[in-house]
Amino acid sequence: MKNNHLRKGICGIFFLLLCVGCKKEYEYTSADIYETKFVHWGRGYFKLKVFYEFEYNDSIYKGENKTYGLYKITGVKRYREGDKIMIKYPKGKPNKSEVTRYRFKKKNE
């Protein structure tokens, strides 16, 4: 019985150390929205799909993300071409970017 508890404790410590060692470091930057479009979600609702691009080491990288909100009317867009968003990616891997914040900077109208 004591051996079983000891094994569980050792396994727990091992997995804890393994998870701490797996922590990724991210780089953050701003990206420009170059296109937005509505994607039908179902039953008359739409999600806004945002296409963005950013520069890393003199190369342009592109990404896309669906926003969280659902829209009933397709004529209103919360984000427009030219708006800036905040993204993150693992250090040295800009092709694995993801949006962290949409309300970064609105384009002047």
pLDDT at site 79: 83
Mind listing the pLDDT tens digit for each residue in 8-26? Answer: 656 556 555 555 556 679 9
Mind listing the pLDDT tens digit for each residue in 19-49? Answer: 555 667 999 999 999 999 888 888 888 888 9
Contact partners, residue 36, CB within 8 Å, separation at least 6: 48, 49, 50, 51, 77, 79, 80, 81
Indicate the pTM of the whole model: 0.71
Residue found by looking up tokens 């051996």 in the block: 3
CA distance 72 to 78: 13
Element housing 5 (H / E):
helix 2-21
* Confidence band, pLDDT 50/70/90 cuts, at residue 2: low
**For the chain, which residues make up each domain, given as ranges?**
24-105
Mind listing the pLDDT tens digit for each residue in 56-82? Answer: 999 999 999 987 777 776 566 778 889
Domain 24-105 has CATH 1.10.1330: no
